[in-house]
Amino acid sequence: EVQLVESGGGLVQPGRSLKLSCAASGFTFSDYYMAWVRQAPTKGLEWVASISYDGGSTYYRDSVKGRFTISRDNAKSSLYLQMDSLRSEDTATYYCTTTSLQFDYWGQGVMVTVSS
């Protein structure tokens, strides 16, 4: 059974940093592109970033470019999202997902609140 378990969320002040982690199991992690998708409270879904099988290619939405860094450790079957210079508009639940052309499997999500 595919499992994706996010961790690392919490309350952080604007301008500060936070690192999210996602532990994957139940599938061959290195066979999948991975992504982060977020959902602001009571809002819709928004793609944030994606990473290729070996981490050699990364992709970001414009609003997080230069502030967020997606990475992975295939030996640990883990995905990460380093979030720097956080803004109030980054407040959301962040989901770890497998991705081919669609987002096949989703974690339960982790909440990030950016507020002073």
Partner 1 sequence: DTVLTQSPALAVSPGERVTISCRASESVSTLMHWYQQKPGQQPKLLIYKASNLASGVPARFSGSGSGTDFTFTIDPVEADDIATYYCHQSWNSPDTFGAGTKLELK
Query: Can you give the binding site for partner 1, defined by CB under 8 A?
Result: 44-47, 59, 61-62, 95, 101-109
* Residue 77 C-beta: closest distance to partner 1, Å: 19
Nearer to partner 1, 53 or 103 (CB): 103
Burial class (CB in 10 A: 0-12, 13-18, 19+), 49: buried
* Residue 88 C-beta: closest distance to partner 1, Å: 21
Nearer to partner 1, 38 or 72 (CB): 38
